[in-house]
């Protein structure tokens, strides 16, 4: 293979398969609360399937257990006739499968408050109501209100320049 050629990737072969073929693993440490599961359902219903489920050659789920779970919901199931998008990681052993599951879970990161505040205020500026933001983003009314006003957030959290005291100067 030449240096500028791309090595084949699992994502090169997204396939739609019957969800009944997939097998949840028995070790996933990740848990999603019911409100976030409803948000995942809403996301798939409104935007469609944007991420495949990652499986090994025996259809054991490496990543995407919650997408698999929500695909059993009647509305989501009807969207694709019970099919789910999958990519297969070939030649993965039991140890690597476990490691890959944890890495996928941990690599997702967290939402920063300042960035979420900016998104909420931008959406409101585009004419979206607090109620619609709550419904479509799975937020509570207090969360939307705090993000919209930045109430309770330290000033330093959203200033572009750090606020150092005169007793300390960065090197």
Tally of domains within the chain: 2
Confidence class for position 154, pLDDT limits 50, 70, 90? low
Residues 26 and 100 in one domain: yes
Structure tokens at 74: 């009647």
Give the model confidence (pLDDT) of 112-147 as tens digits. 788 788 888 888 888 989 998 888 877 888 988 888
- Look at residue 164 and tell me if it is in a domain: no
Range of the domain at 76: 10-106
Residues 30 and 74 in one domain: yes
- Look at residue 89 and tell me if it is in a domain: yes
- Look at residue 101 and tell me if it is in a domain: yes
Buried-state track 127-154, b at ≥16 Cβ within 10 A, e below 16 = eeebeebbeebbbeeeebebbeebeeee
- Look at residue 143 and tell me if it is in a domain: yes
- Look at residue 142 and tell me if it is in a domain: yes
Say what the pLDDT of residue 156 is: 46
Q: How far is CA 84 from the centre of its chain?
A: 17
Task: Tell me the whole-structure pTM to 2 decimals.
Answer: 0.74
């Amino acid at each position: 293979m030449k240096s500028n050629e791309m090595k084949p990737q699992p994502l090169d072969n997204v396939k739609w398969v019957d969800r009944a073929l997939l097998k949840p693993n028995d070790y996933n440490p990740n848990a999603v609360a019911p409100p976030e599961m409803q948000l995942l359902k809403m996301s798939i219903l409104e935007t469609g399937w944007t991420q495949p489920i990652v499986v090994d050659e025996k259809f054991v789920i490496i990543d995407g257990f919650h997408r698999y779970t929500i695909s059993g919901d009647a509305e989501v199931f009807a969207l694709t006739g019970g099919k789910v998008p999958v990519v297969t990681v070939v030649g993965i052993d039991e140890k690597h499968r476990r490691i890959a599951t944890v890495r996928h879970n941990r690599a997702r990161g967290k939402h920063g408050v300042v960035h979420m505040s900016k998104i909420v205020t931008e959406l409101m500026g585009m004419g979206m109501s607090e109620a619609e933001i709550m419904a479509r983003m799975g937020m509570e009314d207090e969360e939307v209100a705090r993000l919209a006003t930045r109430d309770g957030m330290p000033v330093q959290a959203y200033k572009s320049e750090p606020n150092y005291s005169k007793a300390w100067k960065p090197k």
